[in-house]
Amino acid sequence: MARVVVVGGGPGGVLLTYLLARGGVEVTLLEGRHDFARRFRGDTLAPGVLEYLDDLGLAHDLLAEVPHTRSDAFRWHAPERTYRLVDYRGASKRFPYYALLPQARFLPWLADRAREHGATVLMGARFSDLLPDEDGRVRGVRYTVDGQPHELDADLVVGADGRSSKVRSAAGIEATELGASLDLLWVAVDQHPDDPASSGLDLFARPGGTIALLDQGTGQWQVGWSIPAGTFASVREAGVEPLIDALASVLPWLAERVRAVVTGPNDLTLLPVRITTVDTWSKAGVVLLGDAAHVMSPVGGNGINLALADAAELANLVVGNGDPAELEARRRPAVEAEQRRQVRTEQAAAARNAAGDTGPPTVLRVLASIPGFSTLAARRSRVPMPAPEPAIAGARPSVAAD
């Protein structure tokens, strides 16, 4: 495969760019924004992903250089007790935790390493269209930088441009909603030295919804309210006091800090949760990966991990001279299994919220009482990554480091 253009510098696109460059492929990344600054994204690197990065010789430097938090458990706090629903301590010998590491720090770190391997990373380069050859096969892209149009030839164009993928629509591929039941509202507030300890991944249940409390090593708490899908308009009408009252009922020590920052609905960031699929992940000369192919719910926090797994698999196909279209056969079953779980979990959560139930789903409540279950649950959520092709694994982790 001579030349690859990757559209979109999210986790999937940046990892793919790195792996292709390291495997000796000529690759250009087009990222529409001028920087990687972004907030409130999927920032949870799974143990299996960390093992993969370790196999490439990257994990040690990443975790040493980039501030983050290590979460060894996902905890559900009901009024009467706390459930340690998933315990990552047995999930991996090398990385018995999820690394909570903001994309705003992870992406520039990895993009720099991609550049060291010879990748071209174009920031502020916005994809506008696909260029077909006379047989209809895609032979390149049109993009703009500062409003100026450019063209770039490619043997393969990868649409890694996220949930509203323009590559996907330009290729004539439609996304279908599978039915999300919840939306999320996020805000970040400063941490104080005497704040209570957190696992990094804590969910507090209250009648009518849950509140997430995440710690990503930024010196701030990320606080998220779940609300029924499509009801942000009623939050606007009611104002933010009911949300802050709900927070005060489960995290009283944080309420005043949040009240000082959230004075109206515009101070909240809405994530309209979506779960989508597409009929096909590829057309001649184009492949989709990550959210462009399958938007995931934040339930389980694996949108980022599945995008990274797609990138690892596609890099193997390209570097190993396989057919890039085979990505779909290799990845779709795992993605769809996760999406089915997410739809079920969200529907059950919406039903429990409507009924005012504050415990975790009954089945999890029962299973959580069985010794070893939470470790088993963590093993299942490891997100298996493919072994890197020898041409990728064998290459030096970083040219500049030598």
Ligand X SMILES: Cc1cc2nc3c(=O)[nH]c(=O)nc-3n(C[C@H](O)[C@H](O)[C@H](O)COP(=O)(O)OP(=O)(O)OC[C@H]3O[C@@H](n4cnc5c(N)ncnc54)[C@H](O)[C@@H]3O)c2cc1C
| Residues forming the site for ligand X (CB under 6 A) | 7-13, 30-33, 40-42, 126-127, 160-163, 166, 184, 271, 290-291, 296, 298, 301, 303-304, 307
Nearer to ligand X, 257 or 274 (CB): 274
Nearer to ligand X, 265 or 391 (CB): 265
Q: Give min distance, CB of 128 to ligand X, in A.
A: 7
Look up residue 291 and give its DSSP letter.
G
As to burial, measured by CB atoms within 10 angstroms (0-12 exposed, 13-18 middle, 19+ buried), residue 337 is exposed
The edge-to-edge listing of strands for the beta sheet with 44-45 is: 44-45, 98-100, 69-71
Nearer to ligand X, 115 or 365 (CB): 115
Nearer to ligand X, 296 or 319 (CB): 296
Task: Give the separation between CA 9 and CA 36, rounded to whole angstroms.
Answer: 8
Task: From 37, 36, 30, 33, select the one nearest 120 (Cα to Cα).
Answer: 30
Q: Which residues pair with 330 in a beta bridge?
A: none
Q: What is the 3-state secondary structure (H, E, C) of 13-35?
A: HHHHHHHHHHCCCEEEEEECCCC
Q: Using CA atoms of 396, 399, 400, 402 in order, give the dihedral in degrees to the nearest 10.
A: 50
Task: Give the separation between CA 221 and CA 235, rounded to whole angstroms.
Answer: 22
Nearer to ligand X, 237 or 307 (CB): 307
Nearer to ligand X, 13 or 48 (CB): 13
**How far is the CA of 315 from the CAs of 139, 308, 326, 342, in angstroms?**
19, 10, 12, 27
Q: Give min distance, CB of 195 to ligand X, in A.
A: 21
Q: Give min distance, CB of 345 to ligand X, in A.
A: 13
Q: Give min distance, CB of 295 to ligand X, in A.
A: 7
Nearer to ligand X, 112 or 256 (CB): 112
| Residues contacting 398, CB < 8 A, separation 6+ | 57, 61, 113, 116, 117
Q: Give min distance, CB of 282 to ligand X, in A.
A: 15
Q: Give min distance, CB of 102 to ligand X, in A.
A: 11
Q: Give min distance, CB of 305 to ligand X, in A.
A: 9
Q: Give min distance, CB of 88 to ligand X, in A.
A: 16
- Half-sphere exposure (CA, 13 Å, Cβ side) for 181? 18
Task: Count other C-beta atoms under 10 Å from residue 104's C-beta.
Answer: 16
Nearer to ligand X, 162 or 391 (CB): 162
Nearer to ligand X, 239 or 289 (CB): 289
As to burial, measured by CB atoms within 10 angstroms (0-12 exposed, 13-18 middle, 19+ buried), residue 300 is buried
Cα of first residue to Cα of last residue in the chain, in angstroms, is: 27
Structure tokens given for 374: 């939470």
Task: Count other C-beta atoms under 10 Å from residue 204's C-beta.
Answer: 22
| Residues contacting 133, CB < 8 A, separation 6+ | 139
Q: Give min distance, CB of 326 to ligand X, in A.
A: 19
Nearer to ligand X, 95 or 186 (CB): 186
Q: Give min distance, CB of 134 to ligand X, in A.
A: 25
Nearer to ligand X, 177 or 256 (CB): 177
Q: Give min distance, CB of 97 to ligand X, in A.
A: 17
| Crossing angle of the two packed helices 303-319 and 327-355, in degrees rounded to 10 | 180
